[in-house]
Amino acid sequence: MKFLGRRLAFYLLTAWAAVTINFFIPRVMKGDPVQSLINRYQGQISTEAEHSLYVLFGLDTQESLWQQYVDYWGEILHGNFGISFTSFPTPVTEVIGDSLPWTLGLVGVATVIAVVGGSLVGILIGWRRGTWMDAILPVTTFFSSVPYFWLGLIAISVFAIWWPVLPLGGAYDGGLIPGWSWEFVSSVLEHAILPGLTIVLASISGWILGMRNMMVTVTSEDYVTVAHAKGLSERRVMFGYAARNAILPQVSGFALSLGFVVSGTLVMEMVFSYPGIGLQLFNAIGGKDYPLMQGIFLIITLAVLVANVLADVAYVLLDPRTRQEA
Amino acid sequence: MTPTAPTGVRHPASSGSQNPPVLEIRGLEVSYGYSDSAVRALRGVDLTLHQGEVLGLAGESGCGKSTLVYAATRLLPPPGIITGGEVILHGDEGPVDVLRMSDAELRATRWQDTAIVFQGAMNSLNPVHRIGRQITDAIKAHRPGWSRARRDERARELLEMVGIAAGRITAYPHELSGGMRQRVMIAMALALEPKVLIMDEPTTALDVVMQRQIVEQIVDLRDRLGFSVVFITHDVSLLVEIADRIAIMYAGEIVEQATADEVYRHPRHPYSHGLLTSFPPLHGPRRELQGIPGAPPDLQSLPSGCPFRVRCPHAMPSCARVHPELGPTALGEEQRSVACLLHDPQVRTAEGVELPASLAV
């Protein structure tokens, strides 16, 4: 399809720009990662190794910038993002690979719950205005307007300290060996409850509000009145005619938020010391770990782009008007 | 105004009010909003639609035409409230009051007995569903026994009936022109062969040529299928052409009811007369265009007595005191009624006035 082709070309261009910027950022930044690494090891690294470290980090000043850029692309296409400074000599891909699943699992599932739940509640509130359900909105708005770290800390102090039913933080019980054992999985689930619920609580009001407002707009459309006049059941009118059209902006919003799932909710991972990608990024910044930062930035950028592609595809599937050649 | 003439499509088949009634509206009252600030949009409307008849409903914007049909079908959007009256539908199982039906009963009669074609041809179809699906889902809701193939077959048949190629069943609304969309709406409305077809300004958004085609098509389909039509428009010249009977509304009331021909040639209410002299006739002698001075009244603060008196060229002192009810004309014509004190002999004697010549032609 021509429309999707054009969009895809646009996204490829964006991806190229993102990678290129990613390449230049550490090169224009002040500070020398090799020197800071040598300083960290406090003389344990001999000065002969200095040059090889530069080469290893892809910062070989004896090579031209263009050659570095070409090498950089080559490495990226081979899935090699370099070596993390802070957890030297683990490759960046491995560091990201260790933390990304935690974030994806927790934040991803929480986002899906918030979107689905929020949209359903929004549909109902928008459909039956003036009932007790209208009270849901101010309550959820309250939770999303309080700062997240505060919400998280309150949740911890209530459910992990005053009434210790849930763990304080982390992704699983430290004494367990990761694996597909029931013990481990249940521990993971238990550790996910508090951070997951607080994410849902903090983000659901946006989804409710968006869906409700669209429902209110759409229910006054003529085609909804026609659907009533046709004698269709209330449920069919509500879902097949009103919600079906009102959901369109939610879909693109959802796809975009999927992109941000990858960046993790930094604050959540800090509050709950959850070993996700956000915490990793935070540590990388603290430790001047340029390769890791670059790798994470790149992953985030690509995830947002992929989510955008998904949003476009979903929109084309859901709204026939977008299939028209503009 | 459309340059259509009161000749053209006349239909002998429509004997009009001799047929038994299909829809009787009695004393229908509608308000928008509660309490003192409520706007009384309909103030006791009586209207009878007979079998096979085209009943035209005319009046200025805001006189309650659309409110009347929305209330009669219980599709009135909030804050509209039906505060009184009854709407008797003569269905297959005898007369029933639409306003007192349960939700399930109401759903069952909708589209089956009364189908509606709405004002906006552009917005009446859901942009994200194919038109075939929008036609068939009404069939599906009312004919649960029908197979999918049979429903599709019916939809194709309906499209052909309104002059659209059956292949367009898979088209989306945005792929059709405005006229075609309105035809699809008409096809959709006829899907279950309803007894009553309500058309709320179905041609307003269309150009004159398309307007004419659609109107002719409706008349033609009516002759073939025998349903009754309530046709709402502010375009009186169009009504004169297609309607059997016309009811003129003013400020939430019906002020005159008669056959189309009689309303056109011999209006009995000063307001009808004003409406008819607001557009030029294509045939017959030239006459001066007069229009109606002033603006439609604010329904929240209607004048006492007759709501039209402030704009009426024949207003008398009595008009400020007495609210006119629909009654016989001064000339005692059959099957027509008018709500004007000038037609009440007692009032005329008391006021010492004659029926103005313009209302006695």
DSSP string of B37-95, one letter each residue = T-EEEEEEEEEEEETT-EEEEE-STTSSHHHHHHHHTT-PPTTEEEEEEEEEEEETTEE
Between B2 and A204, the more confident residue is A204
C-alpha distance from B34 to closest chain A C-alpha (Å): 15
Selecting from A233, A244, A319 the residue whose C-beta is nearest the C-beta of B141 gives A233
Tell me how far apart the alpha carbons of residues B336 and A104 are, in angstroms, rounded to a whole number.
76
Q: Is residue B151 part of a domain?
A: yes
pLDDT tens for each residue of B18-39? 788 999 999 999 998 877 788 8
Rg (CA), chain A: 24
Q: Which of residues 233-252 of A touch B (CB under 8 A)?
A: 233-234, 236, 240-241, 244-245, 248
pLDDT tens for each residue of A124-165? 999 988 788 888 888 888 888 888 888 889 999 999 889 888
C-alpha distance from B323 to closest chain A C-alpha (Å): 35
Parent domain of B144:
126-191
Whole-number Cα distances in Å, A24 to A17, A68, A156, A294 = 11, 10, 41, 10
The pLDDT assigned to A295 comes to 87
User: Is pLDDT above 60 for B7?
Assistant: no
Looking at beta carbons, which residues of chain A come within 8 Å of B127? 223, 245, 319-321
Give the residue-averaged pLDDT of A209-229: 91
- Contact, B128 vs A244, CB < 8 A? yes
The pLDDT assigned to A209 comes to 92
A82 secondary structure, DSSP code: -
Least confident among A25-29, A213-217, B106-110, B129-133:
A25-29
User: Is pLDDT above 50 for A254?
Assistant: yes
For helices A277-286 and A290-318, give the axis angle rounded to 10 degrees: 150
- Best of B75, B101, B128, B137 to disrupt the A interface (most A CBs within 10 Å) is B128
- ipTM for the assembly: 0.83
pTM above 0.90, yes or no: no
Tell me how far apart the alpha carbons of residues A137 and A297 are, in angstroms, rounded to a whole number.
35
In this complex, do A319 and B127 lie within 8 Å of one another by their Cβ atoms?
A: yes
Q: Is B136 on the interface with A (CB under 8 A)?
A: no
Number of domains comprising chain B: 1
pLDDT tens for each residue of B203-256? 777 778 888 888 888 888 888 888 999 999 888 888 888 899 999 999 989 999
The pLDDT assigned to B2 comes to 42
Q: Where in chain A is the domain with CATH 1.10.3720.10?
A: 104-323
Q: Is B18 on the interface with A (CB under 8 A)?
A: no
In this complex, do B77 and A229 lie within 8 Å of one another by their Cβ atoms?
A: no
Selecting from B124, B127, B172 the residue whose C-beta is nearest the C-beta of A226 gives B124
In this complex, do B118 and A222 lie within 8 Å of one another by their Cβ atoms?
A: yes
Tell me how far apart the alpha carbons of residues A206 and A260 are, in angstroms, rounded to a whole number.
15
C-alpha distance from A111 to closest chain B C-alpha (Å): 26
Q: Is residue B98 part of a domain?
A: no
User: Is pLDDT above 70 for A325?
Assistant: no
Q: Is residue B283 part of a domain?
A: no
Mean pLDDT of chain A: 84
CATH of domain A104-323: 1.10.3720.10
In this complex, do B110 and A228 lie within 8 Å of one another by their Cβ atoms?
A: yes
Tell me the two tokens of residue B78. Answer: 């909030």
User: Is pLDDT above 50 for B4?
Assistant: no
Looking at beta carbons, which residues of chain A come within 8 Å of B73? 229
pLDDT tens for each residue of B36-88? 788 888 988 999 999 989 999 988 888 888 899 899 999 888 888 899 899 99
pLDDT tens for each residue of B84-100? 899 999 987 788 898 99
Least confident among A14-28, A30-44, A75-89, A214-228:
A30-44
The pLDDT assigned to A114 comes to 93
Q: Is residue B44 part of a domain?
A: no
